[in-house]
Chains A and B, each alone.
Chain A
């Protein structure tokens, strides 16, 4: 009986040692993977930063104003002025019994009604 316990125990020790050994290696492998992912994240972040910078550069007010001027004939864009404000009541609203399409888009205006 006692011998059996000894044998079982040593078998257990071997099994646990083997498990620890493999765990060790999987941990190292995941560490390497984490490192690799961090590098990847860093380069992605750098790419995002560059794109953000580029976006900001392309959307600088000076350029947008120039583009609006260049495309005036097509877009008819002018700087926002006081006359462009309107009372909500002066805007003709669609009739009450309007059929809302299956794929509605959200529409909102200052103080207006919001459709889901």
Chain B
């Protein structure tokens, strides 16, 4: 760039010659220069504004363009986030307390037909009938050839072999849809606990699996919750114990000619149910339909242990003894009037046989005297009895994780009169489930604390709640029940399993007729037990429906001859499985009793 000086010599000289002031020239030059600088600055500023403007246009244009694109395009999830979720769309597994599989899933396929796509509908129907003889051949032919049906479900589940055979037909109108199938590998074992499933919403590609009973129904939302990523549900059930119990109970039921049987094994300190069996049972892989007619309790779906309301008979007598002890009305040696028959108004209360004018409290329990128990209950009063039964859970449905159980409320007398107090003391006039009884016995045995029965495995070894009995009462009741089994004159001598100090109480209750009154020759025989008596760990209730056995020359139905030997067999099989070491027999067994003749 050429710079012009402020005072160009030529101009200055000529100005001097004309007598002008040369400073004016300088001023003029300066002004010219300023003007040029101004022009330059303005141009630069304009350019900058232009560039800035462009940058803004590009920037906002990009944002606007992206917004327009987002608004007009269909939304799609970013790929990277899909990772695990599509894999875990299965229903969660159910495991037993040791991690053995009780319920899992298998992928299988459903078969459907689209007649419009078929090459030879008549032949397809014939071939299908050869593979599945259980299908209705005529109907298949009609559906395939009528031309009205566009879509037909044929089979909900196919085995891989069946699928291959259908595939080999080469018929383009026969198609497969993916299905997830619930599988119970142990079959009938734990059927009532698991319940079962069915298909819900069905699509061609997949179908929903919905729980219809047992824990499958109770935990349905949890098992299907994808947020839990398929983490399995662990039950308190011990598979091996459950299996052994079921086997023994099934054999026992057949041997005792009973039409049904149930058993519950519970940890007395946590309320965990280690095994729960109800017979007859069913295969949850092929769950039968709900019975629409007849007595629902005759259906194999009926859970006798948690749904069956029975009068549990003399097993209730121990509660009457508990009330007396707790109220301080006596001790196990207190003598009680057992003059039979006892008259109360128009009612007569009789014993199985006459036990003489009086027995000690522990002998009333040991020999199962109705009169003695009635006297104890009357002395203690009905409010104390009610409070005790309420504390033991007999006023509400069992809070266990089964829908069937929570719908089963015990039957209590509407008007709790004095005669109710008397009959309830020996287990008549009140109906409860064997599960109620097991829970109550667990509470008596664990030192007198409430426990909540559960089917979920707990991580603790002690889940005892509020105290309802004193430790001393609990201990006294245990030794009274131990005498029922251990003493020669007890009603459950067949239940004495060597090494396991079984304590318990029998109960034989006549079955009520639907028309009113009671059957003469039909009973529910129950044995409620706790073992080992010196340090109770488990409560076991075994109940047989209408047992009858020929023994020592006569027909026997009482629990001592039916339920007790079955329970003894259950204990001798299950206790070692539960890793319970037998207690070495003591050299001298000393009972403080007034009845040691």
Contact = CB atoms under 8 A, between A and B. Distances in A.
Main secondary structure of the interface of A (DSSP, over half): helix
B243 A82 contact: no
Which bracket fits the contact residues of B? 20 to 34
B257 interface: no
A94 interface: no
A56 B186 contact: yes
A65 B100 CA distance: 16
A114 B183 CA distance: 40
A55 B185 CA distance: 9
A45 B87 CA distance: 8
A75 interface: no
Nearest to A54: B185
A70 B239 CA distance: 22
Contacts of B80: 31, 34
B582 A82 contact: yes
Contact of A65 (B90, B106, B247): B247
Which bracket fits the contact residues of A? 20 to 34
B582 A49 contact: no
A53 B106 contact: yes
A79 B243 CA distance: 12
A88 to B, nearest CB: 11
Interface stretch (A8-16, A17-25, A35-43, A100-108): A35-43
A81 B576 contact: yes
B405 to A, nearest CB: 25
B291 interface: no
Contacts of B82: 38
A50 interface: yes
A52 B79 contact: no
Nearest to B107: A46
A89 interface: no
Given A42-B86, A56-B104, A82 B500 contact: yes
Contact of B239 (A31, A45, A61, A79): A61
A37 to B, nearest CB: 10
Contacts of B100: 56, 59
Given A57-B185, A61-B243, A62-B243, A52 B572 contact: no
A92 B195 CA distance: 49
B581 interface: yes
A50 B244 CA distance: 27
A32 B576 CA distance: 56
A53 B101 contact: yes
A62 B189 contact: yes
A2 interface: no
A79 to B, nearest CB: 6
Interface in A53-97: 53, 55-57, 59-62, 65, 79-82, 84-85
Contacts of B183: 53, 57
Nearest to B499: A82
Contacts of A31: 79-80
Contacts of A62: 186-187, 189, 243
A65 B244 CA distance: 10
A84 B572 CA distance: 12
Nearest to B82: A38
Given A53-B106, A85-B582, A60 B185 contact: yes
The 6 closest A-B pairs by CB, nearest first: A61-B243, A56-B101, A56-B185, A57-B185, A82-B582, A80-B576
26 contacts: A31-B79, A31-B80, A34-B79, A34-B80, A34-B83, A38-B82, A50-B107, A53-B101, A53-B104, A56-B100, A56-B101, A56-B186, A57-B183, A57-B185, A60-B185, A60-B186, A60-B187, A60-B189, A62-B187, A80-B577, A81-B572, A81-B573, A82-B500, A82-B575, A82-B582, A85-B581
